[in-house]
Amino acid sequence: MKHWTPEAEERLAAYLDEVLAVAQTQDDGAEDFLEDLRAHIRSDAEESAGGVVTPQNLERALAAAGTPYDVVGVDTPVAATAPSNGNGAHGTNPVDAKAPPIAMNAPLTIIFGVLLPLVAVGTEFSLMNGTWGGGVGVMPTFLHVILLLGVPAWFLYLLIKSSTPAAEQELSTRRAVAFGLGYLFGMSFFYSILLLPLMPISLIAIIWFGIGLIGLSPAITLVLACHATLRLEAGGQYDGVHSRTYFRWVWAGGFFVMVLLGGYVGLQFSRDHHLEQLLRGEPAEQAESMAALRWLGMPDMSRYYGRSDGIADIWMGGSFLRATRAPDLQEAYFRVYGEVPTQEDLTSWFYLDNHFGSQLRLRWEQGGDRVGSMIPNLSLIQSAMNVDFSGEDMAAQGLSYTEWILEFDNNNPIANEARCLIALPPGGVASRLTLWINGEEREAAFGGRSQVKAAYKEVAIVQRRDPALLTSAGRDQVFLQCFPVPAFGQMKVKIGITAPLHGQGDRAYYRLPFIASENFTLSDRLPHGINITSPGAVILTNASLNTPGNESGTVNQLGTIRQRELFGNGAGALLSLPRVFDTAPHQGALGRYVATMQRDGIQSLAEKREVCLVVDGSAGVGKARIDWHALLQAIPDGVELHAVFAGGEGAVWDGAGGRDGLAAWLGAQRYEFGQPVLGGVVMALGEVTDGKEREVIVIHGPQPMKDGNVDRLTQALESGKRNGQSVRIHLVAAAPGVVQFMENLDAYTEVVPVLVTDSVEATVARIVQTGAATEGTPRFTFAETESDSAAGKHGTNSHLVRLAALDQVMGLLQSHSPLEANAASTIARRCRLVTPVSGAIVLETKAQYERHGLDDEADLNAVPAVPEPEEWLLIIVALAAVCFVVYRTRIAPRRERMALP
């Protein structure tokens, strides 16, 4: 066997194609002898060749074999007997070697084959807000856009090649031309079918309004492609081989398109179906669909994200696409992949600067209680944090007060709402909200949760004025809403947070607040300023702080902190400073309230206790690579240990093998995907039933989803209380990130999120040994005095009172009594706290505060009493009416009289 050049191989293939084509015209099956003929020609060519068979060697063999017409035994068409064109091909050449392979009408091709599809793609893209999918989406993905753009590209290619004589074209070019025709045929056919329902409307629109050509674009390109294909048929021969032999390349082009589209549609259809089942199906269906999605992958969620009900997607006929809220998608994503989705995962990676559809589409989320979809061109342009550990005697008490200034910029022609979920430092409470209105700082009023929400909805969403709202979103989380960030304008807010420090040896720890999720974009280059005032030098990893400067016994550090410490998954910078606070009692006063705080000393708990470990089976815990042996060896022998694995169906450790056995058991579990963890906690409560002192330690990863087991857990907790069994559930995060399941556990103080100051292993060991992850847990007393101003007599530390008030509020809420809830709400409002029963709102005018019953809470002296624009308008209209009446009754008649002859 000798080596053949690719050109020779192609020439032989083309010759045999021609033989086949001619034989088929004679109803003569050529399949029987084609291989024999091929072998013969190969042998013949190789016999005359040296080491390599070239087209020249082959041509001699082909000449001996005869023309395809000779082989089949039919008369040679006149066209095939023209002289050689001299390019080394076989002697049966086209009659007109200068004829193009296909004749294309240039103006028609450019208008309908190139420009019209481009306009259609552009229009579609614009309607879809610059994202793939949604709206009237016929191109749900990037793949579709590329395929669609292939239509004008191929038409352009055909047009260029149609100006080159066939005889001058390479074999590969001719095949490409045929392939392109097939591609065009396939694409236009597919989209014609897809847009078939729109075609009558398009036709009517053209007849009546002269527009609507875009809807007919696929049909028009189909006609063009058919015409060109027929011309290929009629185009005779290419260099001795009838053009029909290239039809297999036409088929290949069409097949290529159909395989891609068909495969993708099938995949997409299946993914959509399973996501729908996962979101809304029965438990069995959900399990089945989750397994399927783990294998197939999630659909492009930008097609769901932020879409409203009633907008069907032509692509899927609207069959599976239903309005789906962002948190539900986030949960689905987490359950399937075990990872927390980013905004980029949820929305498309590609956003055009589009000012039309996106804003309309995302409007439905305004004023809601979720962060929702990311709004293009709404961004954070300033972030600065002031952290104070020294003021108001806070150093001795181990308290902190942080103010975070956030400024949003809306580079859109319409107003938008900025929303974000802020994770507070553990045990912290939001105690201040300030909004800049016309350059002036305006403090928030604190009211009942539903009261402030109603005020916000009316003022922000209906009247479209300038409020900001801060409400609780679960333990240690608040939800910030600012609306409207004006078109091409900015909005600036400040949030104040009071939080305790957590002790560990000679250091005190504080986790900075961070934004868990947001609907605005962040620039990677945005500097996040931080200013820390503390009793000693602060250590903050991943931050650039200047050299500490001493100012009256305090240290002031200024610098910048990296964005990933303040935003997104895994955020949560840990600050450590010298521990100054001790276990001495402290007092504080705020308004009529007085409080004391005393921190626990190091406790030594009874060893005869029951402890149950609940280990989250999510992928996040697996990635934390916990040393189970080290963790379990630190647990005293007297502790009766249980363990539950919260993954899959859930599993309970049978006690085999002692500590080592448990370590091996935990190490052997599969930590994958996203697993709900509260079911495991309920199982754990069932395990620790003997003793009165029960500890459940939950080691979990990020949990950005609500947990359907929360009701079962609250029932179990209530039942335990009734039976006099106390329990503490410590939540130990093995990795930083968003935890959503706490949202409905606000009122259960027995559930304690733990600050992990070092390793998970050491943290768990401390919890088991001392009952707490850190030292010096604050204990409060809280009381109301007769006087409106208790300050002075009881100290001035308002932050201490705020934390005591939060403790009091949470304690009152545990009773689930409406009366106690009212009392809790009153305390929260008076102490200016954002709690499950209270919120903070900044309104623009005094009238707005008064209308919503917030007048006694806001500093109304700082609020302008000027009439609102509506009132101005009424006054102007009234004055104009009076002027008009005066004119008609006095001035006009006088003029008329004067004008009389």
Residue 172 CB: number of other CB atoms within 10 A?
Answer: 12
Contacts of 236 (CB under 8 A, 6+ apart): 79, 94, 95, 96, 99, 242, 243
**Which of 5, 7, 10, 40 contacts another protein by CB under 8 A?**
40
> Coil, strand, or helix at residue 226?
helix
Nearer to another protein, 20 or 804 (CB): 20
- Closer residue to another protein (CB): 84 or 759: 84
We find the least distance from the C-beta atom of residue 86 to another protein, in angstroms, to be 22
Respond yes or no on whether the N-terminal peptide bond of residue 484 is cis (omega within 30° of 0).
yes
Near another protein by CB under 8 A: residue from 52, 64, 146, 883 = 64
Q: CB-side exposure of 207: number of CA atoms within 13 Å?
A: 6
CA dihedral 558, 561, 567, 573 (to 10 degrees): -90
Each residue 617-656 as x (binds another protein by CB under 8 A) or -, in order, gives ----------------------------------------
- Label residue 661 exposed, middle or buried (CB < 10 Å: 0-12, 13-18, 19+): middle
Place of tokens 């007297």: 638
Of the two residues 44 and 328, which places its CB atom closer to another protein in the complex? 44
- 430 to each of 417, 425, 752, 854, how far by Cα in Å? 21, 10, 18, 18
Minimum distance from residue 253 beta carbon to another protein (Å): 30
Q: Is 66 in the site for another protein (CB under 8 A)?
A: yes
Pairing of strands 726-733, 693-700: parallel
The secondary structure of 481-549 as a DSSP string is: EEEEE-TTEEEEEEEEEEEE-EEETTEEEEEPPEEEEESSEE-TT--EEEEEEESSPPEETTEEE---E
Q: Strand 445-448's sheet: what is its strand order? A: 445-448, 838-842, 468-472, 477-485, 416-423, 514-518
For residue 125, the minimal CB distance to another protein (Å) is 54
Task: For residue 319, give the nearest of 285, 363, 358, 270 by alpha carbon.
Answer: 270
Element (DSSP H or E) covering residue 339: none
Residue 52 is a binding residue for another protein (CB under 8 A): no
Identity of the residue, 73 or 648, whose beta carbon is nearer to another protein in the bound complex: 73
Q: Which residues of 684-789 form beta strands (DSSP E)?
A: 693-700, 726-733, 751-753, 778-784
Q: How far is the CB of 30 from another protein (least distance, A)?
A: 8
Stretch that binds another protein, among 64-72, 109-117, 366-374, 600-608 (CB under 8 A): 64-72
Is 46 a residue that touches another protein (CB under 8 A)?
Answer: yes
By C-beta, is 2 or 608 nearer to another protein? 2
Which of 6, 25, 39, 869 binds another protein (CB under 8 A)? It is: 39
Contact 731, 752 (CB under 8 A): yes
- For residue 2, the minimal CB distance to another protein (Å) is 9
What's the CA gap between 722 and 262, in Å, rounded? Answer: 60
Among 564, 559, 537, 563, residue whose Cα is nearest residue 550: 537
The residues that bridge with 529 in the sheet, in sequence order, are 384, 560
Distance CA 349, CA 344 (A): 6
Binding window for another protein (CB under 8 A); candidates: 5-13, 26-34, 741-749, 870-878: 26-34
* Contact between 27 and another protein per CB under 8 A: no
| Residue 364 near another protein by CB under 8 A | no
Spatial distance between the Cα atoms of 300 and 312, rounded to a whole number of angstroms: 16
- Answer yes or no whether residue 58 interacts with another protein by CB under 8 A: no
- The Cα–Cα gap between 30 and 26 comes to 10
Q: Looking at beta carbons only, is 64 or 160 nearer to another protein? A: 64
Binding span for another protein by CB under 8 A among 40-48, 325-333, 475-483, 838-846:
40-48
Per CB under 8 A, the segment of 35-43, 147-155, 198-206, 408-416 that binds another protein is 35-43
Residue type, 623: K
850: Cβ contacts below 8 Å, ≥ 6 apart: none
Name which position in 3, 6, 25, 32 contacts another protein (CB under 8 A): 32
Nearest to 81 by CA among 65, 72, 69, 73: 69
Binding mask 4-23 for another protein (x = CB under 8 A): ---------------x---x
Would you say 294 and 282 are in contact if contact means Cβ atoms under 8 Å apart?
Answer: no
Q: Do residues 557 and 537 lie in contact, with contact meaning Cβ atoms separated by under 8 Å?
A: yes
The reply on whether position 30 binds another protein by CB under 8 A is yes
SS3 for 778? strand
Of the pair 20, 220, the CB lying nearest another protein is at 20
Identity of the residue, 67 or 221, whose beta carbon is nearer to another protein in the bound complex: 67
Which part of the chain contacts another protein (CB under 8 A), choosing from 71-79, 225-233, 465-473, 827-835?
Answer: 71-79
Query: In this structure, are strands 640-646 and 726-733 parallel, antiparallel, or unpaired?
Result: unpaired
Judged by CB under 8 A, which of 7, 33, 77, 651 binds another protein?
A: 33
Contact with another protein (CB under 8 A): which of 18, 44, 300, 775? 44
Residue 74 vs 260, nearer CB to another protein:
74
Question: Under rule CB under 8 A, how many of the chain's residues touch another protein?
Answer: 24
β-pairing, 640-646 with 610-616?
A: parallel
Site for another protein (CB under 8 A): which residue of 14, 18, 21, 42? 42
Query: Judged by CB, which is closer to another protein: 65, or 332?
Result: 65
Out of 53, 72, 495, 696, name the contact with another protein by CB under 8 A.
72
Please, which residue, 36 or 506, has the CB nearer to another protein? 36
Using the rule CB under 8 A, give the single segment among 36-44, 172-180, 739-747, 781-789 that binds another protein: 36-44
| 70, 233, 743, 784: residue in contact with another protein (rule CB under 8 A) | 70
Q: Which stretch binds another protein (CB under 8 A): 31-39, 428-436, 479-487, 680-688?
A: 31-39
The distance of closest approach from Cβ of residue 3 to another protein in the complex, given in angstroms and rounded to an integer, is: 13
Nearest approach in angstroms of CB 64 to another protein is 5
Q: Is 37 an interacting residue with respect to another protein (CB under 8 A)?
A: yes
Q: Applying CB under 8 A, does 742 fall inside the site for another protein?
A: no
- Report the nearest approach of another protein to the CB of residue 36 (Å): 5
Closest CA to 777 of 464, 415, 381, 501: 501
Judged by CB, which is closer to another protein: 69, or 645?
A: 69
Say if residues 674 and 645 touch (Cβ distance below 8 Å). Answer: no
Q: Taking contact as CB under 8 A, which single stretch among the options 69-77, 282-290, 350-358, 724-732 is the one that binds another protein?
A: 69-77
Indicate which single residue of 25, 43, 56, 726 sits in contact with another protein (rule: CB under 8 A): 43
36 binds another protein per the rule CB under 8 A? yes
* Residue among 44, 645, 671 nearest 339 (CA): 671
Cα angle 447, 453, 459; round to 5: 105
Whose Cβ is closer to another protein: residue 1's or residue 898's? 1
In the bound complex, what is the minimum distance in angstroms from residue 217's beta carbon to another protein?
A: 48
Enumerate binding residues for another protein (CB under 8 A).
Answer: 1, 19, 23, 28, 30, 32-33, 36-37, 39-44, 46, 64-67, 70-73
